[in-house]
A and B are shown apart, each in its own frame.
Chain A
């Protein structure tokens, strides 16, 4: 049975420092993350104790080293924010994980709030550098030199749905989704066929179908099994194949369509056989074809284009939803999915106001034509990168947005509010409120727990295994009668 699709994204950002000959990404990331100041004075750990990134959803545990920094390092690298998000250093990248949300519109708001937070910290951190140096941040996925970093999506699922079933259906969906979820990229990488422009920043980097690793031989379907929730009931599906998107419309459709697909898998509503013969090959074929017309080989002998395949998913989704009483956001996602598929069937360039890879392509082609450049020009590569620049006055996506050239989903007021306010309908609310109210007494945090160190008493961990419990409706009264952390713990036990 389909359960509410609680979701969130973790975004690794690209970082560099202008005019710094000795640029060291790790120390720059630590400087960056620590430059973001919230009002609370807490020194709070990220609680790695319960983490298990080596658990594989296919039912085994992989041998390996778990990463557990010492306390000092931990506090320096990890910030849990009052809006329920986590802002931290992940290897050599700053990473923002938005708080858990119940719907895709809130997902857009909170992913965008993350951009604001990272940009704020970028400005603050730059002030601490020697004159002439500037930290620059990019919300993209590749450096064009064979290195890639991810946008990971997370979706709550019913654990009773078998992973095998999920993987089967998800494979083709993820390979073809790029036609509306791709962020666009100039050139190719990782020994893929050369091409002037492709739909996805990430496609070239995917080398296997199903696997646990996220950094080498990347799999289209990732088997990480770390629910961060009651593991008897829930699965957290971890999708690593997506691009980091700038366009609100693209983020909305990317997550919205995927969430719908996952609900259909849970309810056994996917009736058509769309398995591909060679998904790893197909993911590049789709990406390298901006006409979106190229036919892919299916396992059953047929050939269909990515657009035709997505048309099949769309039709199944429309049928699935017609039997229920869908909420307005689901209806809106479906309407936009249909609009996009129809436009792609006619001419992908019609979507130059909605879909990232098309917005970017139109911008670059216009520039190339006016300036007499070609796809190999340095300026064209610079446009590709600067589209994702987080500086509001330099980022090319933001320039287009300011001029009303891209269709929006949410408002600036909503995004600004989400910088300090958690979603009200998930456990992120409880987490954010604890940090706001009792910062000096919060000892450590993870997605599914928060622990308190009160005076010299032993640390007490509060478990939060239900993503929907801890909402404002649940705990508002509890907070009203708990002026201190000690009160909170007493009242929780009562």
Chain B
């Protein structure tokens, strides 16, 4: 099922392209946009499940007596 990698590795140097008009510049920009969209979608998903009262929850999470 999911034991092969299904996602691309993130591109490096795909940001701060300096407005190059060449084909490679456009490709990188498109890749950057796709990644940004992917990240946006992920953030939305996380938002939907993230504990609402984060501050209180984290404050109340205390564990004693561990090895």
Given A353-B9, A378-B55, A408-B2: A367 touches B43 (CB 8 Å cut-off) = yes
The answer to whether B60 has its CB under 8 Å from any CB of chain A is yes
Expressed in whole angstroms, the Cα–Cα distance for A412 and B49 within the complex equals 23
Distance in Å from the Cβ of B14 to the closest Cβ of chain A?
13
Tell whether, in the assembled complex, residue B58 and residue A144 are in contact, meaning their CB atoms are under 8 Å apart.
yes
Given A91-B65, A408-B3: A363 touches B42 (CB 8 Å cut-off) = yes
Expressed in whole angstroms, the Cα–Cα distance for A87 and B2 within the complex equals 28
Tell whether, in the assembled complex, residue A150 and residue B1 are in contact, meaning their CB atoms are under 8 Å apart.
no
Residues of B within 8 A of A16 (CB): 60-63
Given A366-B39, A382-B51: A25 touches B7 (CB 8 Å cut-off) = no
Tell whether, in the assembled complex, residue B65 and residue A363 are in contact, meaning their CB atoms are under 8 Å apart.
no
Tell whether, in the assembled complex, residue B63 and residue A367 are in contact, meaning their CB atoms are under 8 Å apart.
no
The answer to whether B50 has its CB under 8 Å from any CB of chain A is yes
Distance in Å from the Cβ of B67 to the closest Cβ of chain A?
4
The answer to whether B6 has its CB under 8 Å from any CB of chain A is yes
Tell whether, in the assembled complex, residue A147 and residue B66 are in contact, meaning their CB atoms are under 8 Å apart.
yes
Residues of B within 8 A of A412 (CB): 1-2
Expressed in whole angstroms, the Cα–Cα distance for A7 and B16 within the complex equals 48
* B32-67 CB contacts (< 8 Å) to partner A: 39-40, 42-43, 45-46, 49-51, 54-55, 57-58, 60-67
Given A371-B43, A405-B7, A411-B3: A393 touches B63 (CB 8 Å cut-off) = no
User: A177-185, A279-287, A309-317, A344-352: which one contacts chain B?
Assistant: A344-352
Expressed in whole angstroms, the Cα–Cα distance for A16 and B60 within the complex equals 9
Expressed in whole angstroms, the Cα–Cα distance for A349 and B14 within the complex equals 14
Expressed in whole angstroms, the Cα–Cα distance for A403 and B38 within the complex equals 11
Expressed in whole angstroms, the Cα–Cα distance for A381 and B53 within the complex equals 12
User: Which residue of A has the minimal Cβ distance to B35?
Assistant: A366
Tell whether, in the assembled complex, residue A352 and residue B63 are in contact, meaning their CB atoms are under 8 Å apart.
no
The answer to whether A215 has its CB under 8 Å from any CB of chain B is yes
* B1-26 CB contacts (< 8 Å) to partner A: 1-7, 9-10, 12
Tell whether, in the assembled complex, residue B67 and residue A143 are in contact, meaning their CB atoms are under 8 Å apart.
no
Given A378-B54, A382-B50, A399-B49: A25 touches B40 (CB 8 Å cut-off) = no
User: Which residue of B has the minimal Cβ distance to A91?
Assistant: B65
Given A367-B46, A370-B40: A91 touches B67 (CB 8 Å cut-off) = yes
Expressed in whole angstroms, the Cα–Cα distance for A149 and B5 within the complex equals 32
Given A92-B63, A92-B65, A93-B65: A404 touches B6 (CB 8 Å cut-off) = yes
A373-386: contact bitstring with B at CB < 8 Å (1 yes, 0 no)?
00000110111011
The answer to whether A56 has its CB under 8 Å from any CB of chain B is no
Q: Which of A347, A370, A394, A396 has the most CB of B within 10 A?
A: A370
Of the A-B pairs whose beta carbons lie under 8 Å apart in the complex, a sample of 22, sorted by A's number, is A25-B63, A91-B66, A93-B63, A93-B65, A143-B62, A215-B66, A349-B10, A350-B12, A363-B46, A366-B39, A366-B43, A367-B43, A367-B46, A370-B43, A378-B54, A381-B54, A396-B46, A396-B49, A399-B49, A405-B7, A408-B3, A413-B1
- In addition to A12-B66, A25-B63, A352-B10, 13 A-B residue pairs with Cβ atoms within 8 Å of each other are A14-B61, A16-B61, A16-B63, A25-B64, A143-B61, A143-B62, A143-B63, A147-B64, A352-B9, A353-B7, A378-B55, A393-B49, A405-B7
Q: A-B pairs with the 8 shortest C-beta distances? A: A149-B66, A404-B6, A378-B55, A382-B54, A91-B65, A92-B65, A378-B54, A143-B63
